[in-house]
Amino acid sequence: MAAGQWGNCKGCRYFSSNNPNPSDNETQRCMQADLKAFDLKVSGASGCNAFEARAGTGQKPYQEPAQPAH
């Protein structure tokens, strides 16, 4: 599996939710091709680096906070 950008399941196209704006606590199956075989149930707050943004949600992938300037 190629390492992509890390993001939360709730904003990922592979999160099997019909909800246009899933919550952190919603649990659904992960339909990502490589992970599907494991029949994973993930929460909206979970995530991984196979993340791909859902179409039309406008949600941005999670980004690590920037280090404060010293």
Binding site for ligand SF4 (CB under 6 A): 7, 9, 12, 14-15, 30, 32, 35, 42, 46-48, 50-51
Distance in Å, CB of 29 to ligand SF4, minimum: 8
Distance in Å, CB of 17 to ligand SF4, minimum: 9
Distance in Å, CB of 66 to ligand SF4, minimum: 22
Per residue in 26-43, is it b (16+ CB within 10 Å) or e — as a string? bebbbebeebeeeebebb
Placement of tokens 């979970």 in the chain: 46
Q: Which is nearer to ligand SF4, 35 or 69 (CB)?
A: 35
Rounded Cα distance between 48 and 35, Å, is 11
